[in-house]
Amino acid sequence: MNKLRKGLGRGLSSLIGETKKNNSINKVSINDLFKNRYQPRKIFDETKLQELVNSIQERGILQPIVVRNHNNIEGKYEIIAGERRWLAAKKAGLAEVPVVITEADDLKSLEFSIIENVQRDDLNPLEEAQSYQRLIDEFSYDHEKVSKFIGKSRSYITNSLRILTLPQKVLNLIEERKITSGHAKILVGLDNAEFIAEKIFNKKLSVRQAENFVKIFKKKNSLKSRDTNVQSLENSLIEKIGLKVIINNNKRNSGSIKIEYKNLEQLDRIIETLKKNY
């Protein structure tokens, strides 16, 4: 891989064209195929899978499954692209399936799987984020490289990966497609993400409605928790140093003071003030 590929911009067929492959379509036993270790999809829609089963029973498999030689078992193959076709073929009772055999390393195998699924919008937001994280963790990609390969903006990749920071219960709702990626982005960074996610699902809130709900919830909690004495102290400090100050004071009267600065000059001012007085 001497040059960075454009991924989705060039398509699955282009990626296949960059590998050494047997151009002929081979028929192999369905039992000689194994699922892709790098398959990002965890959930296959049963209704759509059954529709594919019905189609295969009537017309057979129209597009061959792309495979590579299995690393550990001679004479067996690992699926690179077409796992859903393979599952449907098994359900349809086929003994053999058409395949194209290609030489692909682990990175190429993962790239194939991501491209195939993202192109067809088959991945839920969690599976998509996990596949990008795998490129980063296992193959030393950074956000910029993932962005160029997938053909999406860097901010899209970064926001996608932030979903992985959500609590497991929220991730389960995303995986089951009970809430969308738009909902998930709203929940990132919230202390009460699980509570909000349940409200979104139970009340069937749109993304816009969820955003408004979070704003109202934050405002109510802010009004409840803010102490007038603390606010007075904040205002006094703001007037003295000319910078935004936030005091977080808990019930035991311990906490933190946050002073926000926008440039190095303001930071120097804070440091000099502390040095002079302490």
Asked if 30 and 97 touch (Cβ cutoff 8 Å), the reply is: yes
58 counts as catalytic: no
What burial class does residue 219 get, using C-beta atoms within 10 Å of its C-beta: 0-12 exposed, 13-18 middle, 19+ buried? exposed
Q: List C-alpha distances in Å: 142 to 77, 85, 109, 160, 188.
A: 30, 32, 18, 14, 21
Tokens matching residue 6: 């454009």
Residues 6+ apart with CB under 8 A from 5: 14, 15, 18, 111, 149
Annotated active-site residue in 18, 78, 83, 144: 83
d(CA 258, CA 238): 11
d(CA 116, CA 86): 14
Asked if 30 and 96 touch (Cβ cutoff 8 Å), the reply is: yes
d(CA 179, CA 203): 11
The amino acid occupying position 180 is T
Asked if 71 and 78 touch (Cβ cutoff 8 Å), the reply is: yes
What value does the CA radius of gyration of the chain take, rounded to a whole number of Å? 26
d(CA 187, CA 165): 10
Which residue numbers are catalytic? 83
